[in-house]
Amino acid sequence: MLPSHSSLAIPDIVAPGVNILAAIEDAYVIGSGTSMATPHVAGVVALLKALHPNWSPAALKSAIMTTASVTDERGMPILAEGMPWKVADPFDYGGGHINPNGAADPGLIYDIDP
């Protein structure tokens, strides 16, 4: 069953966000979730912007989305957590897992104007 229109939340990209060591006030904690994955994506965008200063936000997103991987580091399909576990699909991972090295030299980018 597909999610209802009001609860449809398809990610653009998946980034590391589980069991991330983070600083909070005067302590370090292990955190998981979107708030842990977002800084990884922001860092990749900053690095890409340094490599390609003339790229627009759309070009940066294109490079990230078109070079994402839908397999894990062993070449196996990404699994979606839940009960029961299943092979993930675009509703789980969007374009796939972020690949900074691939995005640095994507070969082709799609750019748009506002």
Domain ranges in the chain are 39-104
Q: Which residues pair with 17 in a beta bridge?
A: none
Q: Which residues contact 52 (CB under 8 A, 6 or more apart)?
A: 59, 60, 63
Residue 23, φ and ψ in degrees, nearest 5: -90, 130
Q: What is the DSSP letter of 6?
A: G
Q: What is the mean pLDDT of the chain?
A: 86
- Centroid of chain to Cα 73: 15
Residues 45, 18, 56: CA angle, nearest 5 degrees = 10
Find the helix or strand (DSSP H, E) in which 34 lies: helix 34-51
What is the pTM assigned to this prediction?
0.79
Instruction: Give the rounded percent of residues in the chain with a pLDDT score beyond 90.
Output: 43
The pLDDT tens digits for 36-88 are: 888 899 999 999 999 999 999 999 999 999 999 999 889 999 888 777 888 98
